[in-house]
Chain A
Amino acid sequence: MLHRATIVSMLVLGPALGMAARRHASPRPTTTRANAAPQHAPAATTRHAAERTVWDSVYSAEQATRGQASYNQTCARCHQASLGGADDSPALTGSGFLGNWNGLTLADLQERVKTTMPNDDPGSYGRQLITDVMAYVLKMNGFPAGAKELPAEPDALKAIRIAPKP
């Protein structure tokens, strides 16, 4: 049963909420053009020699099959069996998806899923399940499978970048 909300009004001088909300605010107009350029986004242009991309067979077919089963149970209800997305759920395949993640690493993608999914109980999925689903997503985006599984550890995923076909 739902009880009526208790409403607590309090007068504050602003610092707590105000500062929290303005943590990232720039206090004054900047003086450069292209002014809203990313300040916190991971550096997309820094590439290390040893770094791999999603084209380097970074997951196994067996893992993708495992991920497909999890995906259909947990993700498809919003993102669709096709991964095509819906009115309120972004596509997980195609240029819209790759465009948003291009240049970033699989650790970034894993962290985003871990933080926000599932919508009704965010953070409740383990990294292994998320990583298996990521393997399925990679497969459905046409990236090749290989012999080894995609590792679930964020540090290992940091070394694999989402990139256009070289």
Chain B
Amino acid sequence: MSIVNRSTVLVALALASAPVVLSAQAKPAANAVVPLTTAAGEWPSYTGDTRGSRYSPLDQINKQNFGTLEVAWRFKTDALGPRPEFKLEGTPLMVGGKLYTTAGTRRAVIALDAVTGELLWVHGENEGERGAAAPRQLSGRGLAYWSDGKEERILYVTPGYRLIALDAKTGAPVPSFGDHGMVDLKTDIDQTILPDLITGEIGFQGAPVVGRNVIVIGAAFKEGTAPRSKTNNKGYVRGFDVRTGKRLWTFHTIPKKGEEGYDTWLNGSAEYTGNTGVWTQVTIDEELGLVYLPVEEPTGDYYGGHRPGNNLYGESVVCLDLQTGKKKWHYQIVHHPIWDFDLSAAPILADITVEGKAIKAVALPTKQGILYTFDRVTGKPVWPIVETPVEKGDVPGEWYSPTQPIPTKPKAYARNGVSLDDLIDFTPELKAAGVAVASKYKLGPVFTPPSVSKADGTIGTLTLGPTNGGTNWPGGAFDPETHMLYLAASNSAPSVLGLVQPSKDRSDMDWIAGFAPSAGGGRGGGLSVQGLSLFKPPYGTLSAIDLDKGDITWQVPHGETPDAVRNHEALKGMTIPRTGQSGFIVGTLVTKTLVIAGDPQVTTLPTRARGAMLRAYDKATGAQVGEVLLPAPTSGSPMTYAVGGKQYIVVAVSGGPYSGEYIALRLPSAGGR
């Protein structure tokens, strides 16, 4: 298996017949910092801007007409790789009348006409074995756009961890960038990626972000609940010159000997521990010249006994100088992480006013459904964060932090622990059945630690939040005019934090995630009750948080009531309000008047075909004002733009048996032509 990779790049150049559309982003900038913005109806960065906002001031699509939206075009992505993809997560960019995005199992880059969806060019890399060995495969979340007013570039990271710069006009690699358009991200990284460049575990499936001519690239690894080893490659974060591809700086997310924070890794564990990357979106304040890193957990999602200590900068938000990579401040959100909370979502920059005082803030939505808010210049919490005593576990060899930081405001916007009160309670019988299921597990509030899985005892710690609760990579949406933050949350996706001792050929860790072999296979049924969720509704929510006050202004269930609830025999005749849906892949978009988000699950109603809704809510009240049926769940965060006087909304849909497709929606013409 040591065949040389020979990547072939196909670049299709469309005839330049499309009408010229001038981009608002491409105006000459001289030396002034002109942040990427959605102000002129474009969407030039993954979250609209580089601030994590997902805000557009467009208002043609509104509460009166959302329900009349029609398909402008659709783009099926099956042919962009050797097989169809069923997990299309991209959010396209739109600049100057062209849509740019990633798609297909090899993560091709495509440029589409923003009005018609016509393919303008495609760039693909066949990375062979290196691609097949990549820890984060498939089409990824998107790409970055850069322009100096003359040249326009598209930047993305391949599954095999190479940074590619393309000419946005033609899709051709930029010869002056790196090595003929490519920078090998497995090299020049202050460590030797092991075991080799082909199979060495490190990658990145997020969208790069560019500010002040600096590209910031994170790192991602395989799913880490049951790692093969306590030793792994380290997820350093780097800045690159957007013109040359030259590395400008490297931030050691695990400090090297002699660096600040090294002493938070006892017994020299910083030497061999890995991961601790940034796999979700990085945020940049172009005006302040600062970058905000949401750092993930170190090696071993549920067991940290091989890395005693608080483990900086694991699960910390880190603020760096964008030009130099020097640390300005950091705040560790979870000490000695053992819950797989990571920091999962793009930090959101919010200029707010708290008790009469203007604050440039950064807010962090999390899987644990807690919003952490800081002054983004100083790193000081906007509302006090209290070191709160938490339960010490009893896993042999584990090192426990006695406290965890919990903000006083706002209150948690999603469930993040399990008590009997959280269980299904439609009927006394179902409640009893739910309690019987839960009795096999250790329960407790947020930060209840993982536990040893015992054949004659509890299976593990049952909780909500870790891995697939709260807010994950789709992030939130912030309205810079009203200072409201909108967050979708998965409210009923259970995680079981059970630990077993692996065989030596399985892992050199003392404990990994798993379940003790059960006597007689009696552990079927998993965590559902007669096909229903073990937890009571709401299964998923959409919240509006007033960042001037730190209060949740409104919270509504998000998502159609699942078929299993609507059709269940035991629930016949009951009136059950909309339950919302469990699922963390729910991206939000906020416009002048609306908050827009798709259902994470498919439903079939008597009144309509099988599908998943894209919903619009009145952003002031949370009342639903419109819905559009899509063939599959919205699997990437929605975006919007305007071209030729028409506003469009584009979503990625996929899931179950439905392969990836981008769908563009717009209002029907009024007629008269």
Partner-B contacts on A (CB < 8 A): 1-14, 17-18, 20-26, 29-42, 44-45, 61, 64-65, 68, 72, 76-78, 80-91, 93-96, 98-104, 108-109, 111-112, 115-116, 119-123, 139-142, 145, 164-166
* Interface CB pairs A-B, < 8 A, 13: A7-B11, A12-B13, A25-B74, A37-B629, A45-B610, A64-B524, A81-B498, A82-B460, A86-B340, A95-B581, A102-B602, A122-B83, A123-B83
Q: Which residues of B contact A42 (CB under 8 A)?
A: 657
Q: Which residues of A contact B655 (CB under 8 A)?
A: 90, 100
CB-contacts of B188-238 with A (<8 A): 196-198, 205, 222-223, 225-226
Closest to A65 in B: B521
In the bound complex, CA of A143 to CA of B601 (Å): 20
Tell me the interface secondary structure of chain A in the complex.
loop
Given the contacts A82-B515, A87-B472, A164-B564, A140 and B173 also touching, CB distance less than 8 Å: no
Given the contacts A34-B629, A121-B132, A140-B525, A20 and B14 also touching, CB distance less than 8 Å: no
Asked if B75 and A41 sit within 8 Å, CB to CB, the answer is: no
B661 on the A face (CB < 8 A): yes
Closest to B497 in A: A82
Tell me the interface secondary structure of chain B in the complex.
loop
Given the contacts A93-B527, A98-B531, A116-B83, A6 and B567 also touching, CB distance less than 8 Å: no
Q: Which residues of B contact A109 (CB under 8 A)?
A: 657
Asked if A96 and B67 sit within 8 Å, CB to CB, the answer is: no
Residues 520-542 of chain B, each 1 if its beta carbon lies under 8 Å from chain A, else 0: 01001111111111000001000
The answer, among B70, B181, B610, B665, for a CB contact under 8 Å with A103, is B610
In the bound complex, CA of A141 to CA of B564 (Å): 12
The answer, among B181, B197, B656, for a CB contact under 8 Å with A2, is B197
In the bound complex, CA of A94 to CA of B600 (Å): 13
Partner-A contacts on B (CB < 8 A): 2, 4-15, 67-80, 83-87, 110, 117-119, 122, 125, 130, 132-133, 136-138, 162, 172-173, 179-182, 184, 196-198, 205, 222-223, 225-226, 279, 340, 342, 344, 460, 467-468, 472-473, 492-496, 498, 513-515, 521, 524-533, 539, 562-564, 566-569, 581-583, 600-604, 608-611, 628-633, 653, 655-658, 661, 663, 665-666, 668
The answer, among A22, A103, A123, for a CB contact under 8 Å with B119, is A22
Q: Which residues of A contact B604 (CB under 8 A)?
A: 44-45, 102-103
In the bound complex, CA of A87 to CA of B633 (Å): 17
Given the contacts A45-B604, A82-B495, A141 and B6 also touching, CB distance less than 8 Å: no
Asked if A8 and B521 sit within 8 Å, CB to CB, the answer is: no
In the bound complex, CA of A23 to CA of B78 (Å): 9
In the bound complex, CA of A65 to CA of B608 (Å): 39
The answer, among B7, B73, B87, B136, for a CB contact under 8 Å with A6, is B7
Q: Which residues of A contact B80 (CB under 8 A)?
A: 21
Q: Which residues of B contact A6 (CB under 8 A)?
A: 6-9
Q: Which residues of A contact B533 (CB under 8 A)?
A: 94-95
The answer, among A36, A41, A120, A140, for a CB contact under 8 Å with B524, is A140
Given the contacts A7-B181, A38-B658, A94-B582, A23 and B630 also touching, CB distance less than 8 Å: no
Q: Which residues of A contact B72 (CB under 8 A)?
A: 29
Asked if A164 and B531 sit within 8 Å, CB to CB, the answer is: yes
Given the contacts A84-B468, A95-B601, A99-B581, A142 and B525 also touching, CB distance less than 8 Å: yes
The answer, among A21, A72, A95, for a CB contact under 8 Å with B76, is A21
Given the contacts A25-B73, A115-B84, A1 and B611 also touching, CB distance less than 8 Å: no
Q: Which residues of A contact B532 (CB under 8 A)?
A: 95
Closest to B606 in A: A45
Asked if A33 and B344 sit within 8 Å, CB to CB, the answer is: no
Q: Which residues of A contact B566 (CB under 8 A)?
A: 164
**Residue in A25, A77, A81, A96 with the greatest tally of chain B CB atoms within 10 Å:** A96
Asked if A80 and B225 sit within 8 Å, CB to CB, the answer is: yes
Asked if A142 and B526 sit within 8 Å, CB to CB, the answer is: yes
Q: Which residues of A contact B71 (CB under 8 A)?
A: 26, 29-30, 35-36
Asked if B197 and A98 sit within 8 Å, CB to CB, the answer is: no
Asked if B601 and A165 sit within 8 Å, CB to CB, the answer is: no
| Cβ distance A160 to chain B, nearest Cβ, rounded Å | 15
Closest to B669 in A: A29
In the bound complex, CA of A16 to CA of B58 (Å): 36
Asked if B513 and A80 sit within 8 Å, CB to CB, the answer is: yes
In the bound complex, CA of A152 to CA of B317 (Å): 49
| Cβ distance A82 to chain B, nearest Cβ, rounded Å | 4
The answer, among A2, A72, A99, A115, for a CB contact under 8 Å with B563, is A99
In the bound complex, CA of A65 to CA of B518 (Å): 11
Q: Which residues of A contact B610 (CB under 8 A)?
A: 38, 41, 44-45, 103
In the bound complex, CA of A44 to CA of B76 (Å): 22
Asked if B494 and A24 sit within 8 Å, CB to CB, the answer is: no
Q: Which residues of A contact B514 (CB under 8 A)?
A: 72, 76, 81
Given the contacts A13-B15, A38-B611, A44-B610, A91 and B567 also touching, CB distance less than 8 Å: no
